[in-house]
């Protein structure tokens, strides 16, 4: 199950950066530039950054602020750098070819992570990949007002069907 999947290639990352750039204004850029001066603690700075960019990743959140309560900036940086290294080495997304079970990707159409591009890059390795996208939905479908109920319904149904098949 992939929910609001991240990017696995430079083209998708470039598109994501372009979408985020289109959604930003000068006032937000200025607030982001001031974060280092305002927050010496990297975790607090990351939490503040999350709060600033949350609207760029969302359509209409049911509960704003839920995703930036706890941050570990060091773990994020190390994990992301490791993922980039593994992508550059050709490990990811190629390693996903080992997955033979059904895979479902759930994505918001308003997520700056370009879901359809990401799906296309992954289908080569996981031809069994199914894709579901919601309009009026950003990066966190479980928090989005217009997608939340349907997201959980699709998730429950898909897991129920595939877990039942696997256990049988």
Q: Which residue has the higher pLDDT, 64 or 75?
A: 75
Q: Which residue has the higher pLDDT, 168 or 129?
A: 129
Domain assignment of residue 80, given as a range: 2-167
| Rg over CA atoms, the chain | 17
Q: 45-51 long-range CB contacts below 8 Å, 24 or more apart?
A: 45/73, 46/71, 46/72, 46/73, 46/76, 47/71
Q: Alpha-carbon distance 55 to 52, whole Å?
A: 7
pTM of the model: 0.89
pLDDT tens digits, 39-51: 999 999 999 999 9
On the question of pLDDT at 153 being above 90, the answer is yes
On the question of pLDDT at 164 being above 80, the answer is no
Q: Total domain count for the chain?
A: 1
pLDDT tens digits, 65-88: 666 677 899 999 999 999 999 999
């Amino acid at each position: 199950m992939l929910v609001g999947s991240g990017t696995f290639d430079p083209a998708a990352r470039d598109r994501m950066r372009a979408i985020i750039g289109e959604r930003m204004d000068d006032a937000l850029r200025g607030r982001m530039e001031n974060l280092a001066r305002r927050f010496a603690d990297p975790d607090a700075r990351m939490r503040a950054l999350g709060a600033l960019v949350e609207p760029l990743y969302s359509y209409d959140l049911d509960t704003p602020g839920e995703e930036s309560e706890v941050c570990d900036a060091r773990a994020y940086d190390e994990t992301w750098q490791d993922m980039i290294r593994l992508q550059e080495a050709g490990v990811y997304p190629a390693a996903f070819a080992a997955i033979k079970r059904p895979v479902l990707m759930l994505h918001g159409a308003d997520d700056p992570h370009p879901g359809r591009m990401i799906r296309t890059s992954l289908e080569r390795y996981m031809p069994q990949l199914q894709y579901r996208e919601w309009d009026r939905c950003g990066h966190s479908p479980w928090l989005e007002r217009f997608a939340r109920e349907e997201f959980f319904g699709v998730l429950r149904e898909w897991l129920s069907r595939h877990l039942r098949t696997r256990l049988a």
